[in-house]
Every structure is written in structure tokens, then in C-alpha cells.
Amino acid sequence: MDLKKQLKEGLLTQNPVLVQLLGMCSTLAITTSLFNGLGMGVAVTAILTCSNIVISLLRKVIPDKIRIAAYIVVIAGFVTIVDLLLQAYVQELAESLGVFIPLIVVNCIILGRAEAFASKNSVAASAVDGLCQGIGYTVVLVVMSVIREFLGCGTFGAGILNGGKGYVLLGSQYPASLIAQPVGGFLTLGILIALTQWLMRPAKKKEGSRDGLR
């Protein structure tokens, strides 16, 4: 178990969004404000870590033929629990994320990690993997949210900071609402992916191999 390596993979070399391109739907749809991005990221990280732990615990009990069904039941259970908890304790977030909370069930990152990692590794390693991948997902969501909220609405942290009003950085005539729409999501994501690839390039050359890709 190599914590540093797993964290680096989650954040950069195996980032679920920027490199594996998983969970695109929620990434594009909800990154319109920091509040949404952070909330979704934390919810997914919690569910991913919990489901990774449980699936890793059960990996020897679950027969191979029904593993996908079993994983989905476990994941759906956690998602519903988080959904109910959000509705009960953080109504604003539950409202603004809406249908995207139940849709975490079909978020490929979670089933992907269950199948690719948790079903083959120890409980501790799976927990760390869930956490690292979740953090990688959250960081991307937060970055995208901040960019899109600033360019699309001209605010920063609307819904959480400054007593829920956020900080207005641009006058109402400047924001390009295009960026806050799905089109802007694709544009932002594309630019971010290109930027990560560019950033990772020198590192690859130095290592002289593609070790990053297990």
C-alpha cells in the first residue's frame, strides 16, 4: 500500500475525470457554482470510500457471476443514505444538486473502482484508493466550478461564503452565461484536460516510461 503513489494517481496520473474520463455527466452538469461542485465532490468521495470498503470486505464472499449486481446494490444503498441525509440536514445542497445525487448510483467512477480495485485489493488499500480517487474528482469539480462560476455568473462561492450571497466579482453586464451552460462545461473540461496533459508531459519524459499507467 503506497499512500503517496495512490494520491498522485488520484490527483493527476489516474485522475478519474481528467485522465480516465469517468463520471462526465455529473462533472459537466453540476459544476456551475463552488457550492455545488464541493458538495457533489464530498458526496461522491464519501460514497466511493464506503462502497470500496464494503466491496473489498465482501470480495471473497460475492460469487463472480453476480458481482456487478451485488456492487450496484451496495452502491445504491450508500447513495440513497447520502441522499436522505442531505435532504434532512443540508436541504440547500440537496435542492441545488437535485437529481444528480440519486444519479451517483450510475457514476462510472464508483462502479469502476469497485470492479478495478476494491474487488482485488485489501480493505485498507481500497479505502485509501476510494479516498484518493474521490479527492481527485473533488479537486477537478472545484476547479471547474470556480472557473465557471466566475466567468458565467461573476461570483465566487455563492451559496456558502459571505452568508450565502458569495462575493460578486463582476458586474452583472460582464458574465458570459454561455460558460454556465453545458457548452461552457465542455469547453472548461476540454481546456483543463489539455492543461493536465501538458503539465504531465515533462514528468513522463524524465521517467522515460509510462509507469504512471499501471
Binding site for another protein (CB under 8 A): 32, 58, 61-63, 65-66, 69-70, 73-74, 76-77, 80-81, 84-85, 87-89, 91, 95, 98, 152-153, 175, 177, 180-181
Which 3 state secondary structure label does DSSP give 168? strand
Closer residue to another protein in complex, CB, 12/76: 76
Least Å distance between CB 61 and another protein? 6
Least Å distance between CB 73 and another protein? 5
Amino acid at 147: I
* Cα gap 108→127, rounded to integer Å: 17
Least Å distance between CB 100 and another protein? 11
- Angle formed by the axes of helices 67-89 and 34-57, nearest 10°: 140
Amino acid at 93: L
Least Å distance between CB 108 and another protein? 21
In this structure, how many other beta carbons lie within 10 angstroms of the beta carbon of residue 130?
30
In contact, 117 and 48? CB cutoff 8 Å: no
Closer residue to another protein in complex, CB, 81/194: 81
Tell me the CA distances in angstroms from 159 to 41, 82, 87, 133, 140, one per residue in order.
16, 20, 16, 26, 19
Least Å distance between CB 62 and another protein? 6
Tell me the CA distances in angstroms from 128 to 59, 151, 185, one per residue in order.
16, 35, 29
Q: Phi/psi zone of residue 164: left (φ > 0), alpha (ψ -120 to 50 degrees), beta?
A: left
Least Å distance between CB 88 and another protein? 4
